[in-house]
Amino acid sequence: MKVTPAKLVRSLVLAWPMLLAGCLQPMAELPSLERREVELRDRAAEAKAPPPPIESIADPALARDLTAMLARADKAEADFAVARSAAQQAAGAARGKEVGSESWSVAQTRISALDAPRRELAQILGDLEELYVARLQKEAAGEVKPGGSDQIEQARQHVLALLESQDQVIGNLKASLAS
C-alpha cells in the first residue's frame, strides 16, 4: 500500500483529536516533577550524625550484629579519610598538569585507592539491607518481638549517608583532574 500525501494528511487529521486529548489530561493524575523530600535531605549532615543507640535493642543477637557492622563502617570511614587526604594532595599537585603526566597518574592511583574503603562500606550497606529484610520477615511471622527493625533502618541510613558522602568526594576529585 502506497502512502500518498493526501492519505498521510487524512490520517493526521483523524489522529489529531486523540493526540490532543492526551495533552489535556488533568495534571493531578500525573507525578510531580518537583524535588522529593528525599532529594532535599542533607546527606553530609546525616553522615556525621551518630548511629542509632544499640543499647535500646532488646534482642542481644541483633545488638551484637549491629554493633559489629557499625564498627566495620567506622573503620571503613576512617580508612577512607586517610586515603582521601593522600588523594586530595595528589590531585592538588596534578591540577593543571597534562593528562598522562606523572603527577596526573599518581593522582589517579590515589583516587582509585578510595574505592577499597568505599567498597567495604557498600558491602556493609548490603549486609544491613539483608538484615533489615530478614528482621521484618521474622517480626511479621511472630518469631521475634517487634522492634529492632527501626534501629537497623537508622543504621542503614547512617551508612548510606556515609557512602553518598564518599561518592561525592570521589566525584569531586575526579572532576578536578578532568580540567
Chain centroid offset of residue 110 CA = 22
Closest CA to 176 of 114, 91, 108, 110: 91
pTM: 0.68
SS3 helix, strand, coil % of the chain, rounded to 5? 75, 0, 25
Please state the rounded mean pLDDT for residues 3-21. Answer: 75
Structure confidence by residue, pLDDT tens digits, 100-117 = 889 888 989 999 999 999
CB proximity list for 150: less than 8 A, separation 6 or greater: 52
**Domain spans, the chain:** 43-178
Structure confidence by residue, pLDDT tens digits, 44-91 = 666 566 665 665 677 788 889 999 999 999 999 999 999 999 999 998
Closest CA to 84 of 154, 159, 176: 176
CATH topology of domain 43-178: Topoisomerase I; Chain A, domain 4 (1.10.132)
Please, are residues 117 and 79 in contact by the beta-carbon 8 Å criterion? yes
Closest CA to 72 of 6, 127, 17: 127
DSSP labels for 4-69? Answer: -HHHHHHHHHHHHHHHHHHHTS-GGGSPP-SPPHHHHS-HHHHHHSPPPPSTT-S-HHHHHHHHHH
Q: Which three cell numbers stand for residue 94?
A: 596534578
